[in-house]
Structure 1
């Protein structure tokens, strides 16, 4: 690509973001955003390839400060991959799993839970800070989580290896050289896909924790058999018909709880980075029949939106539609027959919701609705979605580089005043996963929630 091609793409990008985004300056003044675009144009004059241009675009989008206005992760651009995955636990970057499919050599003390301190002499904190400069986020805690998982993103393609300094379970510091891999390699890409596949292939899990006599509803992502994203399913090769039905799963769970006289329920929203917030509406009818407060929505009209939804065809581009206060009425959302609704297994016990900084987007929406309507007790860490934020993405393709971007077209105002105040759903009881438990595969927060229930919290 020529320099002018990069500049043309940046002009197109800025024009479309201003046309589609409902409030481009909701966090950053427009003047600052315009200054960043001028800096991006200067940097673009030194672009050498699509990857370096992608980093420039990412830097511009980060300035806006909307995590939904970003470069989608499904694009198959080359990236450097470590032979292990990482996670942020108790503020530290630790090893999550070893990618033995691509590298099966073992090093002393290097296992799940090992703490990473340096990569080739650079401190992890320095690397996280650099990664954060490229990641759009609504909430710093969520941004740090994402930055910790993309630990190798600061490394250049072509680098063959990295020196990793880490500490083992006894605290002993060790250093070893690890090879680096490219996501463009089929086996590496398969490995990365397998790490994420379960989140989308099994979005809903409903069961009774027999040992504790507690109902457990895990929502890994806000999708199910009838509400799904075709792009995501095609990327992971998932048949929509194989997905669980949220209403059917809830019916079976709550029926079993009523039959076995179980009066405690845990809804687990940790690690859920969103999807479609309607999924939560299928759950609420088992918990209550009252009218419920929900998010207020503003929509900005654009050519892209009209292309996606013909109902906006007669509106003027740039117009903001305010849908006002929304109240949900029983049965909210349902796929049940009328006869089934009359026999609904209503739950009148104690509901605990588990949240963390990975409870994001539509998952935070569900948490906020449950909180605003006083339907649950919250345990864990503050959510990471940012509270009242833009969302609901439209996709554009830059004409020269063909880089695909997601841009928010709506603004969602949370129904809970505390969510406005804190930019998060803040738990009633704060507990975080410990590194020691993580290393042993134990769930600190779930165990603490069960302990609270045993103590009679309500």
Structure 2
């Protein structure tokens, strides 16, 4: 075991390095799947892509029929939040709207409306790879910038009280500081922009916080910057943005013209301006952070569960969590803060490894997994890459009377559907959990498992981004439509979380015990409102 140098701090935690432990592939691996956009950012822009090209009606209808067929054959949650009659009506209306040739962008709007109506975090559409490489480029920030010739909106935004504010200024106008309110962009008010863009964001059930946080840039590892991309697709691609703004600290509104920038210019501006300052996204780029805030309180941040991020920092949860909780016991820590804000998920094994040190009794993460099928012979030809399906053996699933399949809890890889042992010396004292709308997928499952197994835990922030009953996820059934090449991520495994007697609201995440969100002054001053509230709460309850 490595030794640690302890530094007592007020808010800024120290970092502890870790190594990623090995994994065994099974239906239990992770509460999320790797996003389809996560592997193409560095591809060079492709020549010959014409965004104004129109596809014939027959080609569009063929693509739509394939989308409908695959969703109906594959998606176990297709009618989870919308009835069959509702979805059938939407399919019919959408198909009927294809009356004339359309560009990829116009057809994408139809596809997006269908998949967002399913209300599932892991079900979403993306433009074709050619469109992305040429018209979008890179909108993640953890490696070098990539080429794209098309301009985008050059700001990260923040939503506070249904108003729009500048977060990071990545434009060439340096006068627009953090906290500047955007009142209008070109001919649309900020309210109209939010009313247009928020419904285009997929979400879980009836959780609106997920949409709001995912329209922002909450992480450098985020799937993609949805405000930039969705503004371009659903509103327009001007060369110049005429902004009506109210700068932070001012009372009067002013108008400024801001040229659009390419994704690479935006990328370069972020790292040039914010890599050496205390920007929250840069601070949280490391997915793991531990600190002793004082002699009674420890802070543990987990802002990402994706394997590639943990590998980058050479992490090992099994080893380091053990060392951390040994330290917590040695120091008789009475208050532990777990920070899951901005963690959009990844490999749930990291979370389960932590859970062993938090519960007061043995626990069982899942009741079972459920699928419509796991071979899909009728639609497999449309899958982008179905090789992952071979990892699901026939012995794993049991056919049900309704024609679906459920996992056999006795199968060797289904250990998460059986009781798991907590650590004999698991932490038993005061536990606080910070969550927000960007706490999704595997991170949301972990938060749920803490909620139902540590009913004394106190949750602070806003409604979590994942349905407490569990997500639909799993790889191998994503499709690329043959004509437009639009990509659709389609999960097929329903992961039914063991709620241990807890009765959640249908289609909702964890509702915090204390709803806490930053004010404009907090945001402009880069104040961690939720963490400071938690520390104050601990001090007000010394027992």
TM-score (structure 2 length as normaliser): 0.70
Q: Deviations over 1:411-440 (max 9, x none)?
A: 233434343457121122222222211111
Distance between the aligned counterparts of 1:133 and 1:435, measured in 2? Answer: 24
Distance between the aligned counterparts of 1:154 and 1:347, measured in 2? Answer: 46
Q: Does 1:216 align with 2:296?
A: no
- Describe the SS at the equivalent of 1:165: strand
Q: What is the Cα deviation at residue 246 of structure 1?
A: 2.1
Q: Deviations over 1:57-92 (max 9, x none)?
A: 111111222221112599535245222110223433
Q: Deviations over 1:244-263 (max 9, x none)?
A: 22223323322332333322
Deviates more, 1:254-263 or 1:447-456: 254-263
Distance between the aligned counterparts of 2:74 and 2:281, measured in 1? Answer: 31
Q: Does 1:403 align with 2:486?
A: yes
- Describe the SS at the equivalent of 1:133: helix
Correspondences of 1:128-139 after superposition (within 5 Å): 128-138=194-204, 139=207
Q: Does 1:358 align with 2:438?
A: yes
2:372 is aligned, of 271, 280, 300, to 300
Distance between the aligned counterparts of 1:141 and 1:197, measured in 2? Answer: 19
Change (3 A) 1:201 1:116: closer
User: For residue 231 of structure 2, what is the aligned residue in structure 1?
Assistant: 154
Change (3 A) 1:442 1:47: farther
User: For residue 338 of structure 1, what is the aligned residue in structure 2?
Assistant: none
1:439 is aligned, of 500, 506, 524, to 524
Q: Does 1:166 align with 2:245?
A: yes
User: For residue 538 of structure 2, what is the aligned residue in structure 1?
Assistant: 453
Q: Deviations over 1:318-352 (max 9, x none)?
A: 94223488454115xxxxxxxxx7xx864332111
Q: What is the Cα deviation at residue 39 of structure 1?
A: 3.1
Q: Which has the higher helix share?
A: 1
Contact 1:162–1:179 under 8 Å retained in 2? yes
Change (3 A) 1:262 1:239: closer
Correspondences of 1:80-229 after superposition (within 5 Å): 81-99=152-170, 103-107=171-175, 110-138=176-204, 139-147=207-215, 150-152=226-228, 153-155=230-232, 158-172=237-251, 173-183=253-263, 186-188=264-266, 202-210=286-294, 213-223=296-306, 228=307
Change (3 A) 1:386 1:167: farther
Q: Deviations over 1:326-385 (max 9, x none)?
A: 454115xxxxxxxxx7xx864332111111122122111111100101262211222122
Deviates more, 1:294-303 or 1:173-182: 294-303
Q: Does 1:372 align with 2:426?
A: no
Change (3 A) 1:360 1:168: same
Deviates more, 1:268-277 or 1:173-182: 173-182
Contact 1:289–1:330 under 8 Å retained in 2? no
Q: What is the Cα deviation at residue 21 of structure 1?
A: 0.4
Contact 2:198–2:211 under 8 Å retained in 1? yes
User: For residue 412 of structure 2, what is the aligned residue in structure 1?
Assistant: none
Contact 1:432–1:445 under 8 Å retained in 2? yes
Segments of structure 1 that go 5 or more residues without pairing to the other structure are: 332-340
Distance between the aligned counterparts of 1:141 and 1:62, measured in 2? Answer: 15
User: For residue 56 of structure 1, what is the aligned residue in structure 2?
Assistant: 110
Q: Deviations over 1:188-216 (max 9, x none)?
A: 46668999996996222222224x75211
TM-score (structure 1 length as normaliser): 0.82
Segments of structure 2 that go 5 or more residues without pairing to the other structure are: 1-54, 137-150, 218-225, 410-416
Contact 1:206–1:249 under 8 Å retained in 2? no
Change (3 A) 1:270 1:242: closer
Contact 2:126–2:486 under 8 Å retained in 1? no
1:71 is aligned, of 117, 121, 125, to 125
User: For residue 258 of structure 1, what is the aligned residue in structure 2?
Assistant: 329
Contact 1:9–1:398 under 8 Å retained in 2? yes
Change (3 A) 1:440 1:20: same
- Describe the SS at the equivalent of 1:118: strand
C-alpha RMSD of matched pairs (Å): 3.2
Of structures 1 and 2, the one with the larger relative CO (CA 8 A, separation 6+) is 2
Distance between the aligned counterparts of 2:291 and 2:448, measured in 1? Answer: 24
Distance between the aligned counterparts of 2:542 and 2:486, measured in 1? Answer: 51
